[in-house]
Amino acid sequence: NDRWETPHYRLTFNERGEITSLFDKAAGREVLQQGGRANRFHFFHDRPTLWDAWDIDSRYEAQPAGEAELVEKYVLHSGQVRDVLRFRWTLGQSQITQDLILYAHDRRIDFKTHVDWKEAHKLLKVGFPVDVVADKATYEIPFGALERPTHRNTSWEQAQYEVCGHRFVDVSEHGYGVSLLNDCKYGYDIQGSTIRLSLLRAPQWPDATADLGAHDFTYSLYPHLGDWRSAHTLRKAAELNLEPSALAAEGKTGQLPSTSGFIRFNGQHVVLDTVKPSEDGQGSILRLYESAGGRETVTLGWNHPFSEVYRSNALEEKLEPVAHLQGEFELHFAPFEIQTIYVK
């Protein structure tokens, strides 16, 4: 078995290229269940009864379609910032090429994936059997998060064999947890403490060629101390989805500070989600929300001249004014509250 070590983790791989051990050095514990295979591809036949392109066959788990076969693996890059391990598998008629990216200064583990998809009526998932005991998992939804059970004890829970979430799902026990982040895949199932993310399907109605061809996406594992709130899983998910851009600029005379920002903002769990010109052309719109289900007061500084600040609604209609002093104003948030601010 192959091993790899970073400042954060010790990993062991089996002959299939799957992770059989992920030891978290900071926590001093194994992340995976004993005997578990993480980053394992789960491949199923998928023939829904009625709506081919819209439904997943509720019987898919009883219809496995084969295992991924490892073709090659090698170290693409090893350096002080990150290590990149490349794997290539065949699966059915398809090929999967994946870069497993391990960072020296970040606990996030990225799985940057390219799939040449040539299947019909198949479902591809990836699974992570984590050693965390929890009867509920937390899923991101628009402007918030919600919990769903990790078991199927009732008929309602059995009907949730596939559920939706946005940029992350998290399973945590007291003091420790694991988040699975993604940049474009929003279907999950969690049974016990095995997290699975749906990657690709292959319906043939109403489009006989639906989803065939090349796909590129990234999902990331984020083991953490504490729960998803204290570990700032939402920030990690946002960083995955909005990587910083670097632009070359021409040199000019004069002086600039080493760092600067369009807006000064100090939120912990309050997220500044949107900054846009107002529809009336007279100002700017800010939309913020509290993301962790708590209360928070934030201070926001606008680094350009302005005369008035108002609370607004989604139609950008001015409501009550907001007091401001020396370019700064304060906002108070209730749990999961959304606020729209008009700066004129």
- Grade residue 27 by pLDDT with cuts at 50, 70 and 90: very high
Nearest 5°: CA angle at 255, between 253 and 258? 130
Report the domain count for the chain: 2
The 10s digit of each residue's pLDDT in 200-210 is 999 999 999 99
Give CA–CA dist 240/238, Å, rounded.
Answer: 5
Give CA–CA dist 73/88, Å, rounded.
Answer: 6
Mean pLDDT across the chain, nearest whole number? 96
pLDDT at 75 over 90: yes
Q: In what order do the strands lie in the sheet with 40-45?
A: 64-66, 40-45, 122-129, 194-201, 187-191, 163-164
Shared domain for 156 and 21, answered yes or no, is yes
Residue type, 322: V
Residue type, 256: L
Shared domain for 231 and 290, answered yes or no, is no
Shared domain for 234 and 297, answered yes or no, is no
Residue 250: its pLDDT value, please?
Answer: 86
* Residue in the block written with tokens 């807006």: 263
Would residue 249 count as lying in a domain?
no
> Considering the entire predicted model, what is its pTM?
0.95
Would residue 191 count as lying in a domain?
yes
CATH of the domain at 311: 2.60.40.1180
DSSP three-state, residue 155 = helix
Residue 1: its pLDDT value, please?
Answer: 61
The 10s digit of each residue's pLDDT in 105-161 is 999 999 999 999 999 999 999 999 999 999 999 999 999 999 999 999 999 999 999
For range 172-184, the mean pLDDT: 98
Neighbouring CB atoms inside 10 A of 95's CB total: 16
Q: Which of 192, 210, 241 is the last residue of a domain?
A: 241
Shared domain for 316 and 186, answered yes or no, is no
Residue 261: its pLDDT value, please?
Answer: 85
Shared domain for 271 and 173, answered yes or no, is no
Would residue 63 count as lying in a domain?
yes
Shared domain for 174 and 52, answered yes or no, is yes
Shared domain for 17 and 155, answered yes or no, is yes
Calculate what percentage of the chain has a pLDDT beyond 70.
100
Neighbouring CB atoms inside 10 A of 268's CB total: 14
Shared domain for 173 and 218, answered yes or no, is yes
Would residue 247 count as lying in a domain?
no
Q: What tokens were used for 249?
A: 């600029």
The 10s digit of each residue's pLDDT in 220-272 is 999 999 999 999 999 999 999 998 888 898 888 888 888 888 899 989 999 99
Q: Which of 210, 241, 272 is the last residue of a domain?
A: 241
Would residue 248 count as lying in a domain?
no
CATH of the domain at 31: 2.70.98.30
Residue 156: its pLDDT value, please?
Answer: 94
Q: Which of 207, 241, 275 is the last residue of a domain?
A: 241
Give CA–CA dist 163/150, Å, rounded.
Answer: 11
Residue 295: its pLDDT value, please?
Answer: 98
pLDDT at 171 over 80: yes
Shared domain for 221 and 330, answered yes or no, is no
Domain coverage including residue 236: 2-241
Would residue 254 count as lying in a domain?
no
pLDDT at 341 over 80: yes
- What does the longest C-alpha to C-alpha distance in the chain come to? 69
Would residue 252 count as lying in a domain?
no
Give CA–CA dist 140/170, Å, rounded.
Answer: 9
Shared domain for 176 and 209, answered yes or no, is yes
Shared domain for 116 and 203, answered yes or no, is yes
pLDDT at 92 over 90: yes
Would residue 183 count as lying in a domain?
yes
Give CA–CA dist 88/210, Å, rounded.
Answer: 24
Residue type, 289: Y
Shared domain for 234 and 269, answered yes or no, is no
